């Protein structure tokens, strides 16, 4: 069991997930992205939203571009809606999931009703 993946220490909680970067067999490589969890409704999946500034040459202005990525959410990490998370690229886990959650950077304090 690796103690650290890309500078992130393994969580205290154990899990039996084969797609967990700390307790499973999946390897991470490539891009590391920080974003906000917009949805955690699918089982073991979170939708992460990233906002970038993009320059539009025609209008000589910047515009905000939003990207949504699906990431695997292991049981030992269990990110919730509104959390700020760090995700890393991995091999395709399903048709749309190519990322895995490494760490919850900041928990959402607001209670959703």
Non-local (6+) Cβ contacts of 46 within 8 A are 37, 39, 40, 70, 71, 73, 79, 85, 101
| Cα–chain center distance at 68 | 10
Spans of all domains in the chain? 4-8+30-106
Measure the CA–CA gap between 85 and 74, rounded to whole angstroms.
Answer: 13
The CATH number of domain 4-8+30-106, selected from 3.90.950.10, 2.40.50.1000, 3.60.21.10, 2.40.50.100: 2.40.50.1000
Residue 54 pLDDT: 96
What pLDDT band is residue 111 in, cutting at 50, 70 and 90? low
Read off the pLDDT of residues 47-102 as tens digits, 9 standing for 90 and up: 999 999 999 999 999 999 999 999 999 888 888 898 999 999 999 999 989 999 98
Whether the Cβ atoms of residue 48 and residue 71 lie closer than 8 Å to each other: yes
pTM for this entry: 0.82
Whether the Cβ atoms of residue 68 and residue 38 lie closer than 8 Å to each other: yes
């Amino acid at each position: 069991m690796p103690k650290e993946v890309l500078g992130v220490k393994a969580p205290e909680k154990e899990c039996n997930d084969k797609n967990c970067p700390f307790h499973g067999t999946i390897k991470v490589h490539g891009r590391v992205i920080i974003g906000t969890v917009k949805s955690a409704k699918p089982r073991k999946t979170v939708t992460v939203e990233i906002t970038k500034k993009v320059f539009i040459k025609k209008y000589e202005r910047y515009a905000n571009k939003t990207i949504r990525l699906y990431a695997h959410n292991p049981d030992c990490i269990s990110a919730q809606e509104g959390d700020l998370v760090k995700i890393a690229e991995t091999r395709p886990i399903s048709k749309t999931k190519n990322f895995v959650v490494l760490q919850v950077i900041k928990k959402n304090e607001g209670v959703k009703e």
